[in-house]
Amino acid sequence: MTYRASPADGNAWITGASSGIGRGAALELARRGYRVYATARRGAELEALSAEAVGLNGSIVAARGDVTDRNQMAELVAGIERDRPIALALLNAGGNFWDAPGDIGGDGFAKTMALNLQGVVNGLNPVFNAMRERRRGQIAIVASVAGYCGLPNSGGYGPSKAAVISLAEGMRFAADPLNVTIQVVNPGYVKTPLTAKNDFPMPFLMECDEACRRLCDGLERGGFEIRFPNRLALFMRFFSILPYPLYFPLVRAVAKGR
């Protein structure tokens, strides 16, 4: 049985908590009794979130930080740990930056990788090491169903999420013997400021509150992967196991709108 965190064991820490999934998950975990340290760059949004949590079973503490700054993440984690141990970490901050057509691997690609991949590792390193020391902890890393397989016009986003899934899978081997649980969260389309920018059809688009409830249920349940909505995730999994001569024409047909 792998370890599952509870509010009695310590704090929760969420990155990317000023909007969207991170914000919703912070509120949901506070409802479930956690003291949640909420990290993002926009301090005013974090303070508003903290105020919104007043009256819930738990609470939310604003802990401003930039996940692309490795030293800052180490200091932030050390600061939270001085309060109480981090029992549960949700490494969620992420985004998508585009390059001009034809500019493969430009500034947008580099920024996407710095945020979605290096940004996750910058948080993972200090929190995993603290959990390793006390032989207890739970870390969930937010990737995406877009990381299951290569998709048209995904820029650096799909590759960054594929890398994060691979990272979580690999970490699981090191973490299991240390009583540290590693999970990967693979959302489909969820209504957030990130997807509000999309101008293509988003099948099975989920409300953010519902997505966050499912995410937190998955944290409580354990198991390696938390995915929602299930229908889209299963479609994407199916695509990813197809032989390439079937995969390419099928994805091309389905993604005609993109």
Ligand X SMILES: NC(=O)c1ccc[n+]([C@@H]2O[C@H](COP(=O)([O-])OP(=O)(O)OC[C@H]3O[C@@H](n4cnc5c(N)ncnc54)[C@H](OP(=O)(O)O)[C@@H]3O)[C@@H](O)[C@H]2O)c1
Residues with a known catalytic role: 157
d(CA 12, CA 112): 25
- By CB under 6 A, tell whether 203 contacts ligand X: no
Cis peptide before 249 (omega within 30 of 0): no
- 3-class SS of residue 84: coil
- By CB under 6 A, tell whether 124 contacts ligand X: no
Q: Which of 13, 26, 34, 92 touches ligand X (CB under 6 A)? A: 92
The 35-39 sheet, strands edge to edge: 59-62, 35-39, 11-15, 86-91, 137-142, 180-187, 225-228
Q: Please, which of residues 135-164 interact with ligand X by CB under 6 A?
A: 142, 144
C-beta separation of 144 from 97 below 8 A: no
- By CB under 6 A, tell whether 48 contacts ligand X: no
Q: How far is the CB of 119 from ligand X (least distance, A)?
A: 6
C-beta separation of 80 from 63 below 8 A: yes
- By CB under 6 A, tell whether 183 contacts ligand X: no
- By CB under 6 A, tell whether 18 contacts ligand X: yes
Residue placing its CB nearer to ligand X in the complex, 21 or 36: 21
- By CB under 6 A, tell whether 16 contacts ligand X: yes
> Which residues contact ligand X (rule: CB under 6 A)?
15-22, 40-42, 45, 66-68, 92-95, 115, 119, 142, 144, 187, 189-190, 192-195
